[in-house]
Structure formats: C-alpha cells, structure tokens
Amino acid sequence: MPDTDPAVSEIRDLLRSAKSTLVLTGAGVSAESGVPTFRGPDGLWKNHRPEQLATADAFRADPRLVWEWYGWRRQRVAACRPNAAHEALARFTVRDSSTQIVTQNVDGLHELALQDLLSVEEASTALPLELHGSLYRVRCVACRFRVGHRDPVDATSEASLPRCPECDNLLRPDVVWFGESLDEKTLEAAITAAEGADVCLVVGTSAVVHPAASLPLVTRQAGGVVVEVNLEPTPLSDVARVSFRASATEVVPLLLAL
Ligand code: BJW
Ligand code: ZN
C-alpha cells in the first residue's frame, strides 16, 4: 500500500489530530511475528476444537492435555519478536500518552516492544490492557494465588503439573477461557477508553469474540471513528470509516508515522 494512498493520508491525519485513541488488537497483529492465529486455515483451532482446550470444563476433564497445548504455545511464542506493527504502536503510545492499547493477545509482544523503547519501569506506565490474560502467568483453580510463570511445564502426567504453593491444588494458565468473565477492572478501563476515544484503530482481530469485539462499537456509539486493518473482512468492516485490506506490518507503521 503506497504511502500516498488517499485513505492512508486521511487516517494518518485523523490519528495525528485525535485527542484520544484506542487501539484494539487481536492475533493478526502478531501473525507476522510467527504467532499462530486462532481461526482461519492455519489457525490454532484447526487441530483443536476450542471447547476441548479453552474452557474451564476442558481443564477439569484433562488438565494434562490443556497444559501440553499451552506449553507448546509458550515455546512457540518465546521464539517470536515484536514486528513492525508492535513497534510502531509502542512508539505511538510513548509519544502520545492519551493512546491506550487494548489487546486480546496473551503473547506479551506489545509489552516487549515497549520495553525495547523504555526501561521496564517506564514501560509499566504505558502497558497495554490485556483482556484475555497472559501466557506467562498462572493462577490457582481453587484459591486467589496468582503469579508470573515462565518455566517450562512438565505435562507428561497430571502428577507433574504445577501446583499451588498455598493450597496444593492445580495451577492453570491465567487466561480467560470461553464462558469466563474478564477481569472486571481491566474491562472497565477498556470500556472507559473506548467511550472517550475519538478513534478506535482495530488491528488483526476476527471481531467475533465478545466483549472485546464490542469495544469499537462503544467508540462508534459515542461519536468516534472506527478504522480497521485486517487481511479479511470482519463484522466490524461495515462500521469502519476505512477498512484497510492489508497486513498489519504494512499499514500500521504508515498510519502512525510522524
Ligand atoms: C491479520 C493478519 C495480518 C491474520 N495482518 N490481519 C455476546 C454475543 C455472543 C457471544 C457472547 C457475547 N458475550 C459473551 C459471549 C460468549 C463468548 C463469545 O464471545 N463467543 C463468541 C465466539 C460467539 N465470550 C466469552 O465467553 C467471554 N466471556 C464473557 O463474555 O464472560 C461473560 C459471559 C459468560 C458467558 C456467557 C455470556 C457472558 C470470554 C472470551 C474469552 C476468549 N478466550 C480466547 C482464548 C484466550 C486464551 C488463549 O489464548 O488460549 O481468546 S478465544 C480466542 O479468540 C482468544 C482470542 O483472544 C480471541 C479472539 O481471537 P482473535 O484475536 O480475533 O484471533 P482470530 O484468529 O479469530 O482472528 C485473527 C484475525 O487476524 C483474522 O481476522 C485474520 O484475517 C487477521 N489477520 N494475519 C492483519 N498479518
Ligand atoms: Zn491455591
């Protein structure tokens, strides 16, 4: 997509003059870093049905299988680096503190991109809101214990899975599975950001999973503009001012260039 494309210039100007911007990202923003998406021909769901792996029932039925899948994903993501879209978004949030990144991703790549620009301490003030949790945290299935966790998980048997140091019940990935509520404070902060945003830039999400997919509609209803970047059309394409049918690394840096 050329830099001189009139739609690129229009949205770049819109983003430059916006008082407040919300960026909602999904798996597509990390696809060019090598992180698999969920849906589509090469998606994670191709070989695993979501209800087999991404529900609390699935974990109760077979925690070993679920941990094996998350262990495999951790390994894959550990080999991935932020791409040009993460980097452009990180630079944009650092430049403009009224920009909030809200991500459905659990891969931590937005945070890594920020840490490449700032110290860990400085980066903590511009962190993305992670709606669906993190691959690198665990929590207890029974008590409130929750902790960062990057060690490899031995999923050869149920007996080898990680256990809670407080109550000895199983630890699970601290992610949000289907049918589970999102963290209340995180969701509230995301809705507030969506209500106050002049522009909601939506990058690389199929926009079928709620409540995340409703956030751009909140911005729209409050009088703001939705802009989409996605290789494919989504349910949001019709409400977007412009829907760029191109990859995240191609378009996002163009839109956010100074
Ligand atoms: C590129 C690209 C490139 C590729 N450049 N683009 C309202 C209506 C209907 C249903 C519900 C509703 N409210 C709640 C529900 C139920 C349910 C839901 O939404 N179901 C729908 C599927 C129908 N929601 C929930 O259960 C949520 N909880 C909740 O609402 O609690 C209250 C409640 C409970 C029960 C009933 C009612 C209310 C929780 C949802 C949790 C989702 N969890 C997962 C797993 C997280 C952990 C993990 O990672 O393992 O989150 S599912 C999975 O989908 C993951 C993702 O974050 C999420 C979204 O996927 P995403 O990011 O959009 O990825 P893809 O693969 O779908 O799309 C990638 C896109 O990128 C594609 O469009 C490509 O074209 C594009 N692309 N390369 C640009 N280079
Ligand atoms: Zn516990």
Distances in whole angstroms, Cα of residue 105 to Cα of each of 13, 102, 143, 161, 165: 28, 9, 25, 24, 27
pLDDT tens digits, one per residue of 58-89? 999 999 999 999 999 999 999 999 999 999 99
pLDDT surpasses 90 at 237 = yes
pLDDT surpasses 80 at 51 = no
Q: Is 219 helix (H, G, I), strand (E, B) or coil?
A: helix
Q: Is 254 helix (H, G, I), strand (E, B) or coil?
A: helix
**Atom number, ligand 1, closest to the C-alpha of residue 32:** 80
pLDDT at 44: 77
Contacts of 215 (CB under 8 A, 6+ apart): 22, 24, 102, 190, 191, 194, 200
pLDDT tens digits, one per residue of 128-165? 999 999 999 999 999 999 999 999 999 999 999 999 99
pLDDT at 4: 75
Burial class (CB in 10 A: 0-12, 13-18, 19+), 15: buried
Residues near ligand 2 ion, CB 5 Å cutoff: 140, 142-143, 145, 164, 166-167, 169
Distance CA 220, CA 198 (A): 9
CA nearest ligand 1 atom 64, residue: 27
pLDDT at 108: 97
Query: Does any ligand 1 atom lie closer than 6 A to the CB of residue 131?
Result: no
Distance CA 164, CA 149 (A): 12
Burial class (CB in 10 A: 0-12, 13-18, 19+), 120: exposed
DSSP 222: T
Is 0.75 topped by the overall pTM?
yes
State the pLDDT confidence band at 40, using cuts at 50, 70 and 90.
Answer: confident
State the pLDDT confidence band at 125, using cuts at 50, 70 and 90.
Answer: confident
pLDDT at 42: 75
